[in-house]
Structures are given as C-alpha cells and as structure tokens.
C-alpha cells in the first residue's frame, strides 16, 4: 500500500467514524451489558458500534460478522493508546497509522500486539461482554 492509498483509506475511515455513535453500556460484575434494542440505528446499517461504560477506561468496538456472530474488541491501539476507527476492511489508528483486522490482528504497524478481544454472549436479547 503506498502513501496515497493509505491516505484515501484513512480518509474514508474517518468519514465513517464521524457518524459512529457511542452507546453507554452498563458495567456489572466484570461484564458490559448492552441491550440489543438499545444499539444505535447505525449498528443495523454499518454492523458495528462503539460502547462505553462507567469505570471502564477503554471503549469497546462491537461488530456483527457476516455469519451473524458478535465480536468485541478494545478500541484502543496497542501502540500508544489512541482510539482506532473503523474503515472498510480494517480498524485504523489515526495517530501513527497502525491497522488491525476486524478480528483484532495487526495488519500494519507500528503496533506489534493485537487488540484485546472480549468474550461475547447473547442472553435474553442483551449482549454480555466479559472484560475480566
């Protein structure tokens, strides 16, 4: 990927992120609870949402895979802690250009470690994201 391609990708990702709404989840006993009915409308269209919870330092990015499963990742870059933003096929760190797959794996550095992944379960129409 050359510089021009990267800047185009970054620009498209930032435009998409401008419309990303953070949902305020509830933190209970090491789990963030997110009722599916309360996810922002953008989740249905884009397939992802940013979730924050009181007493939780890092935002969580949840997304639905092509098979309908839910995944949850830390939205903090493992390089210097900037918030990553969704782009078409990757999560991009605007600070130093690291990119990650939607599974959290490093695609391009300078980040060396993957994004932390969290266990997700759906119980009674509520996402339960285990963060312990």
Whichever domain contains 16, its CATH number is 2.102.10.10
> What domain count does the chain have?
1
Alpha-carbon radius of gyration of the chain: 14
State pLDDT tens for residues 76-119.
999 988 999 888 889 999 998 899 999 999 999 899 999 999 99
pTM of the model: 0.74
Could you tell me which residues come within 8 angstroms of residue 100 by beta carbon, excluding any fewer than 6 positions away?
Answer: 73, 77, 84, 90, 91, 92, 93, 106, 107, 111, 114, 115
CA–CA separation, 40 and 22 (whole Å): 8
Query: For position 27, what pLDDT does the model report?
Result: 57
Yes or no: say if 75 and 68 are a contact pair by the CB < 8 Å rule.
Answer: no
Q: How confident is the model at residue 35 (pLDDT cuts 50, 70, 90)?
A: confident
Write down the H helix ranges in 1-132.
3-18, 41-46
Domain housing 46: 3-130
Yes or no: say if 13 and 61 are a contact pair by the CB < 8 Å rule.
Answer: no
């Amino acid at each position: 990927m050359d510089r021009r391609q990267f800047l185009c990708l970054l620009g498209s990702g930032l435009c998409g992120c401008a419309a990303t709404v953070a949902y305020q989840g509830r933190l209970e006993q090491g789990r963030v609870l997110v009722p599916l009915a309360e996810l922002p409308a953008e989740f249905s269209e884009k397939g992802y949402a940013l979730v924050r919870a009181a007493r939780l330092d890092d935002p969580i990015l949840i997304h639905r895979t092509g098979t309908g499963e839910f995944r949850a990742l830390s939205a903090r870059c493992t390089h210097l802690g900037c918030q990553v933003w969704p782009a078409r096929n990757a999560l991009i760190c605007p600070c130093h250009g690291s990119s990650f797959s939607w599974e959290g794996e490093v695609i391009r550095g300078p980040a060396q470690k993957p994004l932390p992944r969290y266990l997700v379960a759906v119980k009674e129409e509520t996402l339960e994201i285990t963060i312990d």
